[in-house]
Structure 1
Amino acid sequence: MAKWETKEKRMDDIVNAAVAVFLDKGYEGASMESIAKQAQISKGGLYHHFGSKDEILFFASAKLNEPIYEYVHLALKESDPVAGLQFYIRNYVSYWLSHQKELTFFFLTMIKAIATPEMWKAYADYYTHISDFIKTLYDRGISNGQFVEHNTRASALTLMSALDGVLSYLVMSENIDLDAVIGDFEAQFINSV
């Protein structure tokens, strides 16, 4: 195995361990020692990569959002902005629906982020990036006549907020009809614009 593969695997092991420990023990109950034990590395080995559990929390949160950024990238590559929005909505909801443990961790990190300026800035940057991406697709749709002229910034913020809002519903509800949720979003945020 190449050295970079070993480090990448180690970082994935640490992220998975951190998610498990934070969810099991909460932020306050989690320790560097418990994360190291869960990741099956020494405490010193963990400190080699991270100086604190805040750093691990921050890194794990960013790592878990990587698929979302990939969906953004792929949606922007679509020549049809409606298809790009449909792709993003479907994959965003599907991803979190199939990663409920990670979604619960996402909610946990939001609580910690409120009190941590560096982490809060990262969340603010993430939301700015996502809303700009959605606005870009709406603007393209207006340019090619697929959408009526409207406040695309407001539409982007509303869609992004609704997507994040439905995530809590996904965690609480046992019987999710993914196609119905996707259909509702498309009806409200694509077909009616």
Structure 2
Amino acid sequence: MNVKKQGRRSAEDAEQTKSDILEAAAELFCELGFERVSLRNISDKAGVSHSLIRHHFGSKEEIWHAISDELHEFIVRYVAVVYQNMSKTVPANVQLFEFTKRMLAYMLVFKRPVQLMADAVRQEDALLDYFIGSSDDIESFVEGLVSAHNAAFPEAHIRMWDLKWQIVMYAHAAASLTPFLKETWSDETDDLNTCLLRHFMLFEQTMAARLKIDNCYRSIPDSVEELVYELPDSVTSEE
């Protein structure tokens, strides 16, 4: 193997190691919370040395920042895919309705972003500020959808933060109160995915009424998963 190939292999190995560290750390942060996780915990779960973690990231805070950056990058790409698949010929309220449904569906299936956000709230302000501060470009996109809706439907005016709050509230409830979610529909089913769909439909009904969505634009999916778009040539943020 020549020097150039060796260098490329070494770089690939280093990137894989960093990816393994971030995956292990993300699982631990979601399971235990930032405060209870140590670099030693991360090194044990990732199967790498403590010194190698410090070499790549330096500190637990830097690992958290890197995870937040990766999640943000993925969500930005996901928002772009939602927009690409969104019909531009339907009314503004329907576009906003479609966007909110697709984003909640993603957060119900891939719980990691809302789990990390909730943990950041419990920790030092710097973690939450970093998490929220990295989403400016997404906010600009959402503001555009909200502004277009409000201009076309002033009688159904909506605030962007009200919208964000409802998505986060429904996503976090499903992630943190799973036993209660299952108990709510225990007389109908013992399947968690079916309960998740029932939970999603509560949100869908609320948003349809608030945005004055005609029934022709509403649908009942067979599962929440079918509403989540796949990103080509990408790795999702959670298995």
TM category, shorter: 0.7 to 0.9
2:210 to 183, 188, 193: 188
1:87 and 1:65, CA in 2 relative to 1: closer, same or farther beyond 3 A? farther
Tell which has more relative contact order, 1 or 2 (C-alpha 8 A, sep 6+): 2
Instruction: Give yes or no for the alignment of 1:104 onto 2:104.
Output: no
Corresponding residue of 2:73: 66
Aligned counterpart, 1:135 = 143
**What is the match of residue 160 of structure 2?**
156
Instruction: Return the letter of the residue paired with 1:56.
Output: I
What's the CA shift string for 1:84-105, capped at 9, x where partnerless? Answer: 4344322321222122355323
Question: For the Cα contact (< 8 Å) 2:30–2:116, is it kept in 1?
Answer: yes
Aligned mates of 1:21, 1:106 — CA distance in 2: 14
Inter-partner Cα distance in structure 1 for 2:206 and 2:55: 47
TM-score relative to the length of structure 2:
0.63
The alpha-carbon distance between structure 1 residues 123 and 190, as it changes in their structure 2 partners (threshold 3 A), is: farther
CA distance in 1, matches of 2:201, 2:59: 41
1:190–1:59 Cα change, 3 Å: farther
The correspondence for 2:101, drawn from 79, 83, 90, is 90
Distance, in Å, in 1 between the alignment partners of 2:58 and 2:80 is 31
Instruction: Specify the SS of the correspondent of 2:79.
Output: helix
Q: Distance in 2 between matches of 1:8 and 1:179?
A: 40
Q: Does the C-alpha gap of structure 1 residues 148 and 140 become closer, same or farther in structure 2, counting only changes over 3 Å?
A: same
Cα deviation, residue 184, structure 1 = 2.5
Aligned-partner residue type, residue 59 of structure 1: A
Q: Structure 1 pair 25/136, CA: closer, same or farther in 2 (3 Å)?
A: closer
Alpha carbons 1:32, 1:43 under 8 Å: kept: yes
Aligned to 2:171: 167
Paired with 2:150 and 2:113, the residues of 1 have a C-alpha distance of: 35
Compared CA separation, residues 56 and 84, structure 1 to 2 (3 A)? farther
Q: 1:25–1:123: structure 2 CA closer, same or farther, 3 Å change rule?
A: closer
AA in 2 matched with 1:179: M
Higher helix share: 1
Whether the aligned pair in 1 keeps the contact of 2:150 and 2:156 (CA below 8 Å) is: no
Note closer, same or farther for the CA distance 1:190–1:49 as it changes in structure 2 (3 Å cut).
Answer: farther
More moved, 95-104 vs 76-85: 76-85
> Alpha-carbon deviation of 1:38?
0.9
Task: Judge conservation of contact 1:17–1:38 (CA < 8 Å) in 2.
Answer: yes
The structure with the largest alpha-carbon Rg is 2
Across the two proteins, how many residue pairs are aligned to each other? 185
- In the alignment, which residue of structure 2 is the partner of 1:48? 55
Q: Distance in 2 between matches of 1:20 and 1:13?
A: 11
Q: What percent identity do the matched residue pairs reach?
A: 19
- Following the alignment from structure 2 to structure 1, what is the Cα–Cα distance between the partners of residues 111 and 201? 18
Given that residues 111 and 171 in structure 2 are in contact (C-alpha distance below 8 angstroms), is that contact kept between their aligned partners in structure 1? no
